[in-house]
Each structure stands twice: as structure tokens, then as C-alpha cells.
Chain A
Amino acid sequence: EAGVTQFPSHSVIEKGQTVTLRCDPISGHDNLYWYRRVMGKEIKFLLHFVKESKQDESGMPNNRFLAERTGGTYSTLKVQPAELEDSGVYFCASSLLDRSGETQYFGPGTRLLVL
């Protein structure tokens, strides 16, 4: 069974440009999460989808970040326009909908550098 995949693995862009990150969750996982780790800080939650619906986007830094999950399958996270402080590693995770407690399976991350 394929794990969570993310594309691209690395992205280097200039300030003001747009970048779109993609995440493909494990097949059948209704829950999809985005997290990020900026330099020197802990990994922080960004948002949570249940199928195609945004369940919680309380961690999104500002309106330059837009996440979508078309048809409840893969998800994209767009940053427009990118700023220097957006540099970091963006992780995607997925899990089954299981209220007794669940393991979140993480992808390898996308390393974003904004110059």
C-alpha cells in the first residue's frame, strides 16, 4: 500500500511568486492534515480536511495560504504571494476516521525556500 506522497520534494522560489504544494493521502483516508515546520520551531498544525470539507483551518497563518481538497482525494496548498517567512518544511498527513484514537501517517514533506 502506498503511503502519503507529496510533490514537489523541494521548491525554491522568489518572494512574491506563487507556489502550489500537492499531497496525495493514503487511499481511503478521509482525514487529511497540513502541518509545517519553520526554521528552529516545532511542527505546527495548519489545517484539517474531512473528505472535501475543511474541518479546522485555525492554524493557517494568513490569507496568502489557500488549501483545497478536490473530491475528497488529493489536496493542494497554494501560497500566493510567497514571503520570506514562509520558508520551511510543509508536511501532509492522513488518517482513517476513527474516534477511538488514530495514527496520523505523514508524508516526506516539501521543503520550501523563499528567496
Chain B
Amino acid sequence: KQEVTQIPAALSVPEGENLVLNCSFTDSAIYNLQWFRQDPGKGLTSLLLIQSSQREQTSGRLNASLDKSSGRSTLYIAASQPGDSATYLCAVPGSNDYKLSFGAGTTVTVRA
């Protein structure tokens, strides 16, 4: 059974600082890993999807890395802004199916 852990649970930084969010998973036989953002009272927005064959994926100020063998992914957000305040979730599908296992999330607050 896939277990996904996210550290830290919460993070507060001043505007402009870089953010580093960690995700670890127990079963390395994954198809891909997906990072989501959730704003309070809202749904999930997909940020990045990294295929198992990739080591990195970038979108604007966001960069996600994947080390499948060690069961880790890191989401970097450069030059954080107050609008980046949200909960960030990572999720991986099972080795034989597409159902996602989610971490509990990291709640980020960027102070102006």
C-alpha cells in the first residue's frame, strides 16, 4: 500500500524567499507524481506532473524534481509571492492502477 508523506506540514516565509516542499512515497514503482495546489474552500489545481522517466519538470517559478529510487520529490517555488499562499499536495498513482494516493499537504503562508 502506497504511503505518501509531506514535510513540513506548514511553512511561513517572507515574500521573496524561495520555498522548498518535500514529498516522500514508500512504493517507488510509480507511473508519475503530481503536485497540486488547493486554495481555501476551493478544488485542486494541477501544477506539475512528472513522469517516472523524468527527473525534473518546470513551469514558470515552479520546479519539481523526482528521485524515484529514493522515493522523493521536491517542489521548489522561486521568489515567493503572497499569492502563492495555499496548501500544496503531492499525489502518486498506484503501480497497477490510476487511483491517486495523496499526502496530507503543506500549508504555505507567504507574508507581504
Contacts and interface: CB of A to CB of B under 8 A. Distances in A.
A33 B97 CA distance: 12
B76 interface: no
Interface of A: 6, 31, 33, 35, 41-45, 48, 55-56, 58-59, 91, 93, 95, 100-109, 111
A45 B100 contact: yes
Nearest to B41: A111
A35 B100 contact: yes
Contacts of B49: 101, 103
Contact of A108 (B31, B43, B100, B103): B43
Interface string B35-54: 01000011111100101100
B32 interface: yes
Contacts of B51: 100-101
Contacts, number: 61
Contact of A42 (B42, B46, B102): B102
B46 A105 contact: yes
Which secondary structure dominates chain B's binding surface?
strand
B35 to A, nearest CB: 11
A50 to B, nearest CB: 9
A102 B103 CA distance: 19
Nearest to B45: A106
Nearest to B36: A106
A102 B100 contact: no
A103 B43 contact: no
A111 B41 CA distance: 9
Contact of A43 (B31, B97, B102): B102
B99 A48 contact: yes
B24 to A, nearest CB: 14
Contacts of A108: 42-43
Q: Which of A6, A31, A103, A104 has the most CB of B within 10 A?
A: A104
Contacts of B105: 42
Q: Which of B36, B51, B102 has the most CB of A within 10 A?
A: B102
Contacts of A33: 98-100
B34 interface: yes
A104 B46 CA distance: 8
